[in-house]
């Protein structure tokens, strides 16, 4: 693909103009930066897959600026889906529901379902409202790289490949949304995120969590793909593996006894989660060969954080 010039702006109306003209635009949300295109425009949606090098069998999430837009996308809503919308929209939760015919197959990787989310970020909502229609958006990184939590990280991956970057603050949460499949009874948690299983169960008590290796994994095709990986190797723990002599970095909640080329100590699991992906990128820029990540208790955001660290360690 030949290079295009990527416009940077802080103006949501200017950014939305590129979407309306069939372009692709990166924008901040409270989770990570997304790469959006008009959902009903197949040619525009294809540009997302091209810019990211994303496999065509990995579905995108529809982003809405208004709860009323759900009906343009969802064929039917279970009462559980309605309850989740009522409690968690806008917020870091994606619900998967049966899609309408208006949603092109390319957006959902040929599935008859669509993930829908309403981000809880003023700039994202202003941008989405200016777009007028729902947009589809995966994370705004080159496929396989850590999701971007700053506009600079988007630029690093996608400069010259996308039409515009809407520049906002670094994202608050720093991990991708929680995904719940509402087309099965009871609903199934497909991806951990900032909305925890306990918070979900307070609203829909019977929500199930996918056991690792369980057959339902193909319901979230994206989970088959390698994700969230820095170029450096990732190890879980607080110490350097015996005999390791290369450049290593550490991130966690406590300082380690060992000497590292780079160290990041966060004050809480929330801060750790928000810092993780940018730390991965910093380590890659600094030629780090091994990143040691301290494990945290798997409650609240800790569950999502450990999920991402494990995937990176497998990568």
Residue numbers of the site for ligand AMP (CB under 6 A)? 58-59, 61, 96, 108, 111, 113-115, 138-139, 176, 179, 190-191, 219-220, 222-223
Residue nearest to Mg ion (CB): 139
Rule CB under 5 A: say whether 29 interacts with Mg ion: no
User: Which of the choices Mg ion, ligand AMP, none does residue 114 contact, using the CB cut-off of 5 to 8 A by kind?
Assistant: ligand AMP
User: Which of the choices Mg ion, ligand AMP, none does residue 17 contact, using the CB cut-off of 5 to 8 A by kind?
Assistant: none
CA 106 to chain centre: 19
User: Which of the choices ligand AMP, Mg ion, none does residue 78 contact, using the CB cut-off of 5 to 8 A by kind?
Assistant: none
Question: What is the rounded CA–CA span in Å between residue 163 and residue 129?
Answer: 19
Which of residues 35 and 249 has its CB atom nearest to ligand AMP in the complex? 35
Which of residues 147 and 183 has its CB atom nearest to Mg ion in the complex? 147
| Cis peptide, bond prior to residue 90, ω within 30 of zero | yes
Rule CB under 5 A: say whether 149 interacts with Mg ion: no
User: Which of the choices ligand AMP, Mg ion, none does residue 220 contact, using the CB cut-off of 5 to 8 A by kind?
Assistant: ligand AMP
Which of residues 93 and 248 has its CB atom nearest to ligand AMP in the complex? 93
Rule CB under 5 A: say whether 181 interacts with Mg ion: no
Which of residues 12 and 138 has its CB atom nearest to Mg ion in the complex? 138
Question: What is the rounded CA–CA span in Å between residue 152 and residue 159?
Answer: 10
Q: In what order do the strands lie in the sheet with 7-9?
A: 7-9, 164-166, 25-27, 34-38, 135-136, 61-63, 113-117, 93-98, 178-181, 188-191, 208-209
Rule CB under 5 A: which of 237-276 touch Mg ion?
none
The residues that bridge with 251 in the sheet, in sequence order, are 264, 293
Which of residues 37 and 77 has its CB atom nearest to Mg ion in the complex? 37
Which letter, b or e, does each residue of 260-290 get, where b requires 16 or more Cβ atoms within 10 Å of its Cβ?
A: beebbebeebbebbbbbbbbbbbbbeeebeb
283 and 230 in contact (C-beta within 8 Å)?
Answer: yes
94 and 190 in contact (C-beta within 8 Å)?
Answer: no
User: Which of the choices ligand AMP, Mg ion, none does residue 146 contact, using the CB cut-off of 5 to 8 A by kind?
Assistant: none
Minimum CB distance to ligand AMP, residue 136 (Å):
9
Where helices occur in the chain by DSSP H, the ranges are 12-20, 42-52, 70-73, 79-88, 122-131, 151-158, 197-203, 269-285, 301-314
116 phi/psi in degrees, rounded to 5: -130, 135
Rule CB under 5 A: which of 115-144 touch Mg ion?
138-139
Which of residues 139 and 149 has its CB atom nearest to Mg ion in the complex? 139
Minimum CB distance to ligand AMP, residue 115 (Å):
3
Which of residues 81 and 179 has its CB atom nearest to ligand AMP in the complex? 179
Minimum CB distance to ligand AMP, residue 82 (Å):
18
Rule CB under 5 A: say whether 94 interacts with Mg ion: no
Residue nearest to ligand AMP (CB): 222
Residue 236: CB atoms within 10 A of its CB come to 13
State the residues that interact with Mg ion by CB under 5 A.
Answer: 138-139
């Amino acid at each position: 693909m030949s290079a295009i010039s990527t416009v940077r702006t802080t103006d949501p109306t200017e950014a939305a103009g590129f979407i309306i003209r069939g372009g692709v635009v990166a924008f901040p949300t409270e989770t990570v930066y997304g790469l959006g295109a008009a959902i009903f425009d197949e040619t525009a949606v294809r540009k997302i897959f091209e810019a990211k090098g994303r496999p065509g069998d990995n579905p995108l999430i529809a982003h809405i600026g208004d709860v009323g837009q759900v009906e343009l996308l969802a064929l039917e809503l279970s009462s559980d889906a309605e309850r989740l919308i009522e409690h968690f929209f806008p917020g870091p939760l994606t619900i998967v529901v049966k899609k309408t015919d208006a949603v092109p197959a390319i957006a959902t990787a040929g599935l008859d379902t669509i993930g829908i989310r309403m981000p809880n970020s003023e700039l994202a909502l202003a941008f989405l409202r200016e777009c007028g229609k729902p947009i589809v958006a995966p994370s705004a990184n080159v496929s396989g790289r850590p999701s971007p939590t700053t506009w600079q990280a988007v630029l690093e991956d996608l400069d010259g490949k996308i039409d515009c970057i809407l520049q906002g603050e670094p994202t608050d949460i720093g991990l991708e949304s929680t995904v719940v499949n509402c087309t099965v009874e009871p609903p199934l948690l497909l991806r951990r995120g900032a909305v925890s299983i306990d918070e979900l169960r307070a609203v829909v008590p019977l929500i199930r969590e996918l056991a690792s290796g369980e057959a339902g994994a193909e319901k979230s095709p994206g989970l088959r793909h390698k994700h969230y990986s820095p170029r450096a190797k990732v190890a879980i723990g607080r110490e350097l593996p015996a005999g390791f002599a290369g450049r290593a970095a550490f991130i966690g909640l406590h300082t380690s006894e060992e000497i590292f080329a780079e160290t990041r100590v966060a004050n809480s699991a929330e801060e750790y989660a928000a810092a993780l992906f940018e730390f991965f990128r910093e380590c890659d820029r600094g030629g780090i060969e091994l990143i040691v990540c301290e494990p945290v208790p798997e409650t609240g955001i800790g569950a999502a954080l450990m999920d991402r660290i494990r995937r990176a360690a497998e990568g």
